[in-house]
A = this chain, B = another copy of it.
Amino acid sequence: MSQEIPYKIYLSEDEIPTQWYNLRADMKKKPAPLVNPATLKPLTAEELSVVFCKELVEQELDENTAFVDIPEEIRNFYKMYRPSPVVRAYCLEKYLDTPAEIYYKFEGNNTSGSHKLNSAIAQAYYAKKQGLKGVTTETGAGQWGTALSMASAYLGLDCKVYMVKCSYEQKPFRREVMRTYGATVTPSPSNTTEIGRKILAEFPGTTGSLGCAISEAVEVATSTEGYRYVLGSVLNQVLLHQSVIGLEAKAALDKYGIKPDMIIGCAGGGSNLGGLIAPFMREKLRGENDYRIIAVEPASCPSFTRGKYAYDFCDTGKICPLAKMYTLGSGFIPSASHAGGLRFHGMCPTLSELYDQGMMEAVAVEQTSVFEAATMFARVEGLLPAPESSHAIRVAIDEALKCKKTGEKKKILFGLTGTGYFDLVAYQKYNDGEMGDYIPTDEDIQKGWASMPKVDL
C-alpha cells in the first residue's frame, strides 16, 4: 500500500460498527465470575437485576456471544460524535525524529470529553427500554457523570449523580456541565441516603470518597422505584460497549493496510484499554495475528504491576459485587498528590485474566513524566490531552524513542481517551513546578490488602 496516509483517518457514518465485540467469547479460560459479598457465591442474574437493568445483566453474564447488535437508537446517538478519528501523529514523529509511525485513536471530541459516552448511552438506552424512570451513579472528577448526564438528557431519563464532595466543591465546572444537562448532582456523603447520614454522623468533616459515593448511588437505585445503578468502568458490559473504539480503530487502519506492532492504552478500571484492544486481542486469542499490548498505569496506583490477582471488594463500602482482579486492596487510597484519574484500586476482571494469561504487558509511569509527555504532545500535536490519556502518550513516546535508537519503523497505536480541558488545576501545578511523584511503599500496599475477602469457589 503506497496510498498517502492522511493526518486523520475518518470512517464514514455507515461504517460505525453495527455490533459490539465481546472479548470473553474468544478466551479459552474465562474471567472469574462476580461474587455476592453476602453469600460469597457467584451472582445470579436475578441478584444482579436488583442493581442493574435487565439487558445489561445479560450482557454482563454472557461470556459466549462474540458479537452483540448495537441498537439503532444507540448508533444514531453515536453518529453525533462518531466515528472518532485515528490520527497520524506526523508532527510528533517529526519532533521526536523517529522512524516509528505513531497513530492515536482520539475519543475526546464530544462534550463529555472522553470515551465514557460510548457506554453511558448504551446503559441509559437499556434503562429507558426497560421503562425505568432514571439511573444513579457516582463520579469523582466528573467525566463519567458528565457522559451519563448527556446520555440521560438525550433519552429523557432522570439522572442522579453522587459526586465526591471535595470534587463537587473544588471542581465546579464539570458539576455545572452535568446540571446543564439536567442531572441532579449531590455532594457525597449526603443526608439523602442512610449510608450517607451514617458516614456524616461518624466523620462530620469528611470530604468524601469514591467508595462512599458508589454506596450512596447503589442505595438510591435499589431503594427507589424505577431506578437502577450504572457504572462507567470495570464491568464486562462496559468493555463490550467500549469495543466500538477498537473496532473503529482497526477498520480505519485496515483501510490503509496498517498493522500496528503495539497497542498502548492507559488503564484505570480498564474501560478504555479493554475497548481499544478488543479486535486486536481477538486476533491474538485466535492465533491469527500477534500484537504487543501494553497497559499503562500510574506508579501511584499500580494495580497490574504491583497488585495481587485475587477476589476483592470493588468499593470501600463493601456492598458491591466482589471481583477477581489485580488489586491493591479496597483499603488502598492513592496519594492526594496524584493528579489524574486512574485511581481505582483494582482492574477490570477480563483484563486481569488476560494479563494473568500473559496476553498483555503492563508498565507503571510517574506523573511528572506523564505531564512532561502531555505538554510536549500539546505543543506539537495541537491538542491538550487528559492526564489519564497522557499515560499512554508517555509510553508511546518512549517506544518511539527506542525506535529512534534501533532504527526500527514500528507502528504504534495508542488510545487518546480524552481532553484535559477540565484538568487545568493539575496542569497549573505542573507549570508551576509544584508537581511531585508518589510511589507507594510495599507497606502501603500491604495495608491496602489488609481486609481482603476470602472467596473459595
Contact = CB atoms under 8 A, between A and B. Distances in A.
A6 interface: yes
A381 B81 CA distance: 10
Contacts of A109: 109
Interface stretch (A7-15, A262-270, A408-416): A7-15
A67 interface: no
Interface string A404-445: 000000000000000101101001100100000000000000
A93 to B, nearest CB: 13
A180 B80 contact: no
A424 B177 contact: yes
Contact of A379 (B10, B153, B378, B379): B153
Contacts of A424: 172-173, 176-177
Nearest to A79: B7
Contacts of A382: 77, 80-81, 110-111, 150, 154
A371 to B, nearest CB: 9
Contact of A384 (B81, B172, B177, B431): B177
B6 A79 contact: yes
Interface residues of A, number: 41
A179 interface: yes
A375 interface: yes
Interface in A71-98: 77, 79-81, 91
A380 interface: yes
Nearest to A7: B79
A427 B91 contact: no
A181 to B, nearest CB: 6
A37 interface: no
Given A80-B381, A383-B111, A421-B421, A180 B10 contact: no
A182 interface: yes
Contacts of A380: 153-154
A7 B77 CA distance: 10
Interface string A1-34: 0000011101011000000000000000000000
A375 B6 contact: no
B7 A180 contact: no
Contacts of A381: 80
A111 B177 contact: no
A375 B149 CA distance: 13
A34 to B, nearest CB: 32
A427 B180 contact: yes
Contact of A172 (B153, B172, B383, B428): B428
Nearest to A432: B179
A10 B6 CA distance: 13
A412 to B, nearest CB: 18
A389 to B, nearest CB: 13
Nearest to A378: B180
Contacts of A80: 7, 91, 381-383
A111 B419 contact: yes
Given A6-B12, A7-B13, A153-B379, A180 B384 contact: yes
A372 to B, nearest CB: 11
Contacts of A180: 375, 378-379, 384, 427, 431
A176 B427 contact: yes
27 contacts: A6-B12, A6-B79, A80-B381, A110-B382, A110-B383, A111-B383, A111-B384, A113-B421, A150-B382, A153-B378, A153-B379, A153-B380, A154-B379, A154-B382, A176-B431, A177-B384, A177-B427, A179-B427, A179-B428, A179-B431, A180-B378, A180-B384, A180-B427, A180-B431, A181-B378, A181-B379, A421-B421
Given A80-B383, A111-B382, A181-B379, 8 more contacts: A6-B12, A6-B13, A8-B79, A10-B10, A111-B378, A150-B382, A153-B378, A180-B427
